[in-house]
């Protein structure tokens, strides 16, 4: 589950808990993206999951990669049904856990039917690449020196968050230019996507935005994306998307959009 961050209700967390197996399912929360060196049960990162009904929560945290590579540290991961990456700075998650035993056990958790979730920084860390934030939106390709590797839990995808709430909807244009084979997915606050295999469903009360470089640049005019600012399309709660075929679908009884955004016509292809 990949959430846009800054949730204002427990709905997204309730869905995550259900996917993990219910209120008593063992769930680990990773607060490493925050500023503190240590965390305890008073951590604010636990608040929303507790309010959503989770009763079996534990923290998993270190900044020491050598600790993250020990069997003792990853043992709780081997028993967990879910893991939630907290908000903050995604590079802190990466610095601590990329290519460690923690990373290996997270993949093992997914392979045995568990669920991984996170909002904001906890969403971005799940993608293949994490572009460093530019101070200004740009349609230009971002140089490789400004990219970090994510955990790669969702392959060939670049994720951005808070996209509409913070006027970031144009930022992913430059990111997919840098990697034309990658799919860009922007997720607004109070929205999330639930990924299963190659498909995802939008949940929450706002939008996910899809940036498909292959379909949106006309072959006869490869500069289209640069010159007109690029095209993207928005998926609302209930919509689904196939990342393999690059096709979206909207159910006939789809939910209405959030009241702070005016919806325009959208047509499935």
User: For the domain that residue 66 is a member of, what is the CATH number?
Assistant: 3.40.50.880
- Alpha carbon distance 68, 191 (integer Å): 31
The per-residue pLDDT for 188 is 96
The per-residue pLDDT for 62 is 98
In a domain, 254, yes or no: no
In a domain, 262, yes or no: no
99's CB contacts (< 8 A; 6+ apart) are: none
Look at residues 119, 62, 54 and name the one whose alpha carbon lies nearest to residue 80: 54
How many other C-beta atoms can be found within 10 angstroms of the C-beta atom of residue 254?
A: 15
- Which residue numbers in the chain have pLDDT < 70? 132-147, 214-231, 254-269
The per-residue pLDDT for 257 is 54
Structural domain range at position 70: 2-249
The per-residue pLDDT for 256 is 58
The count of domains in the chain is 1
């Amino acid at each position: 589950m990949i959430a846009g961050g800054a949730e204002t209700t427990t709905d997204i967390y309730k869905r995550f808990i259900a996917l993990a197996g219910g209120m008593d399912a063992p769930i680990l929360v990773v607060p490493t993206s925050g500023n503190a060196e240590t965390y305890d049960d008073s951590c604010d990162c636990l608040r929303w999951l507790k309010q959503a009904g989770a009763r079996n929560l534990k923290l998993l945290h270190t900044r020491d990669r050598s600790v993250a590579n020990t069997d003792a540290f990853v043992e709780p991961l081997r028993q967990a049904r879910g893991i939630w990456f907290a908000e903050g700075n995604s590079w802190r998650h990466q610095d601590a856990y990329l290519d460690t035993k923690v990373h290996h056990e997270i993949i093992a958790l997914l392979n045995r039917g568990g669920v991984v979730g996170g909002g904001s920084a906890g969403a971005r860390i799940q993608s293949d690449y994490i572009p460093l934030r530019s101070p200004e939106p740009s349609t230009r390709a971002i140089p490789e020196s400004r990219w970090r590797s994510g955990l790669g839990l969702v392959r060939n995808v670049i994720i951005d968050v808070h996209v509409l709430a913070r006027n970031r909807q144009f930022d992913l244009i430059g990111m997919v230019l840098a990697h034309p084979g990658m799919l860009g997915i922007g997720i607004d606050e109070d929205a999330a996507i639930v990924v299963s295999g190659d498909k995802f469903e939008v949940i929450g009360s706002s939008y996910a935005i899809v940036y498909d470089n292959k379909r949106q640049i006309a072959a006869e005019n490869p500069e289209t994306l640069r010159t007109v600012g690029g095209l993207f399309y928005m998926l609302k709660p209930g919509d689904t998307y196939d990342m393999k075929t690059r096709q979206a679908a909207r159910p006939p009884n789809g939910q209405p959009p959030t009241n702070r955004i005016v919806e325009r016509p959208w047509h499935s292809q």
